[in-house]
Amino acid sequence: ANQWREHLGNMSNALRRLEEMKTRKIQLEEKLASIPIQENCTPSNTENHHLQVQLFELSWQYLQLIALQRNSEVISSIKTYIAFLNGEWDAFRTIARDWRNIYRNLSLIFPVFTSTLHSIRNLFPYPDSGCIDRVIVDEAGMIPLHQAFPVLVRSLQALFVGDPMQLEPVMNLTQQTLEQYCNQAFNARGLTAEYYDLYSPTATSTATAYHRAAGASGKPGDMGQGIILKEHYRCVEPIISYCDRVCNYGMVVKTPDKPSLLGSNLIAYHVSGEYESHTNPAEVLAVERIVAQLLEAGYCIDSSDNDKTIGIISPYRRQANALKSHLQSVWQDFPPGSIGTVHTFQGGEKSAIILSTRQCRPSDSLWFINRRPNLLNVAVSRAKELFILVGNLERLEQAGGYSKMLVEHINQHGELRDMAHPRQAA
């Protein structure tokens, strides 16, 4: 009898606490709803942020209490879902019949799922609208339109996060194939070039998932009702100011000033170089020497928290492969993911980034680098405290465009060095 009374007392206390949390949660939601959306989403608004933290913590406690109330249902749903992930057909049929209750119970313990767009159906096999309450799609500027459809048909609300000034989707199609598709899918149907730019999956600079999300509430090409996040917290000011200049972001840099372990935050090494089998061996050897210097200064090739780590990138796959092969022969524990093309580094960051540009001959085109600001914007902004440019600086300047602007920016805000004789820029 005493145990039963104690159990009833605990249950009564839990229910009373639950009602108190419901009331407090409603109060916080009403207060946050009264704040204009632009002001509410400004990270520097510390008062609102405090309310958001309170709401998050109360919401999480609320979910846990509900899960305890429904513990038998929740445990059963978790077992069913694990069996489904393991490929058991009976569990698959159970989810087909009762997915709404199973996902509801799962969400009490696991309110957030992470997935690639390609794998979403492995987590949510039936495309029923509402099995996902809200989806957040990151790196939307790199996503072709059609790849977002599977997650959208499963979702009630969608939030797209992306930057059209970063790298666009890669389409490995010939110009002839692109023209043929445009003629068949658009021109032959009387659709203008404007429709192609808006809806073609091959219009990678104007029709990504980001562009369509922005265009859903505004005119083509503008942000509609999108929220622009201008406050920057990754790179130190000398580094990110180049990106701000070429992309016209209008950033507010919040990153504290911090010298690199080499002193300057920006360094460019001139390497005359030579072109051999789509690589520049002289730049590969120069990068090896720079890595050795960085390691001696206190940087590392790997760490559990990614602090003081080095990343090495190139716009060109062959050069990136040559760098990886050579550097891993010198440092066997150099992580493969720390050396690659600029495209493979989008979304990533390192304390120090080395960019090998490869091009060195007068006949070498820099169109791929200079056609839009996107590639150099991504390359430079991967570095938190030290960005190092390696290449034929004369050739990069002569090409004009964004490569010239980068050399000039480093000359003004950092150091230009020769591999044999470092010197401070004027």
pLDDT (average), residues 65-70 = 90
Gap between the Cα atoms of 307 and 304, Å rounded: 8
pLDDT (average), residues 96-111 = 94
pLDDT at residue 234 above 50?
yes
pLDDT tens digits, residue range 304-324?
888 999 999 999 999 999 999
Greater model confidence, 110 or 55: 110
For 169, how many CA atoms within 13 A lie in the half-sphere containing its CB? 22
Domains of the chain by start residue, with CATH: 113-228 (no CATH), 232-418 (3.40.50.300)
Q: How confident is the model at residue 162 (pLDDT cuts 50, 70, 90)?
A: very high
Q: How confident is the model at residue 99 (pLDDT cuts 50, 70, 90)?
A: very high
Nearest to 299 by CA among 365, 233, 352: 352
Mean pLDDT computed over every residue of the chain: 88
| 3-state DSSP percent of the chain in helix, strand and coil, to 5 | 50, 15, 35
pLDDT tens digits, residue range 19-53?
777 777 677 667 666 666 555 555 445 667 788 88
Gap between the Cα atoms of 218 and 216, Å rounded: 6
Greater model confidence, 172 or 250: 250
pLDDT at residue 168 above 90?
no
Task: Burial-class residue 35 by CB neighbours within 10 Å (0-12, 13-18, 19+).
Answer: middle
Position 425 scores a pLDDT of 38
Alpha-carbon dihedral 318, 322, 324, 330, rounded to 10 degrees: 180
Position 423 scores a pLDDT of 39
Gap between the Cα atoms of 295 and 265, Å rounded: 16
pLDDT at residue 260 above 50?
yes
- Angle at CA of residue 198, ends 196 and 203, nearest 5°: 60
pLDDT tens digits, residue range 176-218?
888 898 898 899 899 888 888 888 888 888 888 998 888 877 6
Q: How confident is the model at residue 161 (pLDDT cuts 50, 70, 90)?
A: very high
Least confident of 71-80, 81-90, 125-134, 290-299: 125-134
pLDDT (average), residues 145-170 = 92
